[in-house]
């Protein structure tokens, strides 16, 4: 009985999920996430320096050596400021374009997606940001900005790598060498990211099967409210048991589906 119930409710969910995936692409959220990935990589590399610094402190490095390392780490962290600023601007632009598409009903699945609140819709309507084509052009201008930022980052980081901080033990030197190799690999792939941004096509079709495969095997799930709330790492699959309503249920991985349903009281052992 439960299987039949889940199948009936899930059928509507997959249709909604497909609409969300198409909106994710058409509104430029997918485009922005290309930039987001690179910003997150730079942040992760910066955090690795914190781990190396901790190792150095535990190895008994003196205060002067730690201060030199901190100076290096702070300068590396600062190289990501422009990229994070670009990401912030692009996120706002994609959000605005998404709202425009939902309000105008121009998105292929807009008729089945409920806008998150009447207040948000009213606010967006009160501050128009141009038509869809203009908004998309503004968003995609981030490609040239990203290319310029990438060149600037490369120059700044290479200058830093040319004068690395002194490390007190072989263990820290090995960790730093590994970090340096990852940084060089990061810089090397940035031109390919620029080309990926240039080649990105908001009108590229999203096949229907993606609604199922992205749910079952994907590592990132997109919902109608995903970007409105910025990040929802995992979701309300119990919306199945609530009938889903008109709102897209957030997705969690298939491995966590049953445990989530049980925790929410939707299933019993």
Residues 174-196 pLDDT 10s: 999 999 999 999 999 999 999 99
Task: Look up the pTM and report it.
Answer: 0.72
The structure tokens listed for 257 are: 């589906």
Phi and psi for 42 in degrees, rounded to 5? Answer: -65, -40
Choose between 236 and 229: higher pLDDT.
Answer: 229
Helices (H), the chain: 2-26, 29-58, 63-78, 81-104, 118-126, 132-140, 142-161, 170-199, 210-217, 254-263
Contact of 244 with 12, CB cutoff 8 Å: yes
The structure tokens listed for 50 are: 């914190």
How buried is residue 59: exposed, middle or buried, by Cβ count under 10 Å (0-12/13-18/19+)?
A: middle
Angstrom distance (rounded) from CA 235 to CA 183: 34
What residues does each domain of the chain span?
2-263
Mean pLDDT on 72-99: 96
The structure tokens listed for 18 are: 């497909």
Mean pLDDT on 47-62: 92
Provide the pLDDT confidence category of residue 225 given band limits of 50, 70 and 90: very low
Closest CA to 139 of 19, 17, 25, 228: 25
Provide the pLDDT confidence category of residue 61 given band limits of 50, 70 and 90: confident
How buried is residue 200: exposed, middle or buried, by Cβ count under 10 Å (0-12/13-18/19+)?
A: middle
10 Cβ contact list (under 8 Å, min separation 6): 240
Position 15 scores a pLDDT of: 66
Residues 105-153 pLDDT 10s: 755 554 344 444 434 444 444 444 468 899 999 999 999 999 999 999 9
Angstrom distance (rounded) from CA 114 to CA 180: 47
SS3 79: coil
Position 230 scores a pLDDT of: 42
Rg over alpha carbons for the chain, rounded to the nearest Å, is: 23
pLDDT at 85 over 80: yes
Residue pointed to by tokens 């807009």: 110
Q: How many residues are there in the chain?
A: 269
Residue pointed to by tokens 């052009």: 137
Position 135 scores a pLDDT of: 95
């Amino acid at each position: 009985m439960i299987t039949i119930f889940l199948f009936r409710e899930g059928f509507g969910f997959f249709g909604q999920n497909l609409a969300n995936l198409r909106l994710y692409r058409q509104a430029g959220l997918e485009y922005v996430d290309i930039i987001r990935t690179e910003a997150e990589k730079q942040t992760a590399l910066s955090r690795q320096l914190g781990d190396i610094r901790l190792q150095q402190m535990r190895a008994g490095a003196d205060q002067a050596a730690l201060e030199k390392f901190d100076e290096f780490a702070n300068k590396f962290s600062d190289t990501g400021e422009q990229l994070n600023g670009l990401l912030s601007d692009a996120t706002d632009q994609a959000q605005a374009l998404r709202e425009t598409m939902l309000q105008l009903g121009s998105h292929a699945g807009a008729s089945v997606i409920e806008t998150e609140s009447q207040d948000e819709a009213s606010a967006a309507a009160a501050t128009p940001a141009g038509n869809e084509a203009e908004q998309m052009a503004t968003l995609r201008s981030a490609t040239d900005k990203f290319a310029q930022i990438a060149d600037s980052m490369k120059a700044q980081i290479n200058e830093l790598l040319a004068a690395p901080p002194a490390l007190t033990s072989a263990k820290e030197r090995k960790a730093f060498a590994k970090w340096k190799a990852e940084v060089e690999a990061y810089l090397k792939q940035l031109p390919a990211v620029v080309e990926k941004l240039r080649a990105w096509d908001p009108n590229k079709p999203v096949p229907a099967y993606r609604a199922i495969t992205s749910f079952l095997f994907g590592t990132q799930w997109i919902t109608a409210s995903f970007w409105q709330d910025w990040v929802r790492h995992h979701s309300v699959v119990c919306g199945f048991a609530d009938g889903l309503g008109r709102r897209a249920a957030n997705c969690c991985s298939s491995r966590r589906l049953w445990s989530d349903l049980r925790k929410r009281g939707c299933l019993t052992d």
